Amino acid sequence: MKRLTLLLMLFFAASCFLSAQEQSSQAVTYLTKADFLKKIVDYEKNPTQWIFLGDKPCIIDFYADWCRPCRIASPILEDLAEQYKGQINVYKVNTDREKELSAAFGIQSIPAFLFCPLNGTPQMSAGIAQTAEETQAIFKKIIDEFLLKK
């Protein structure tokens, strides 16, 4: 019994360590409400005006771990974050953990994506295309034309 307990504890410690390593090496940043208020927009301080606080345009993915389309979109966003590194930021908000933040943006279906240019009004989009390739192509078009204005 002691060996089983020890093995379980070692497994749990290794899982936590690997999970922390994965999170730190990812190009996508996970946001809490506090992070959002500091990095994106302080909607509590300015509830009627969008004042973007970021230094680069960004995509914010409102997702949940149990959501299959969200899991399909995740590697696409990771890839885009790498491709556009230094040009845009890619963030994720877990709607199950950040209910107040999700409610503030009226998130009713996921995945939902908030595209924030440096200047101007952000745009919200929900869902993904039929294939990963189509989704990536749509995201690239939005990044190039709306966020980076190429």
Report, as residue numbers or ranges, the catalytic residues.
Answer: 67, 70
d(CA 3, CA 18): 22
- Determine the 3-state secondary structure of 45 from DSSP: coil
8 A C-beta contact, residue 94 and residue 33:
no
d(CA 69, CA 75): 11
8 A C-beta contact, residue 88 and residue 45:
no
Helix, strand, coil distribution of the chain in percent, nearest 5: 45, 15, 35
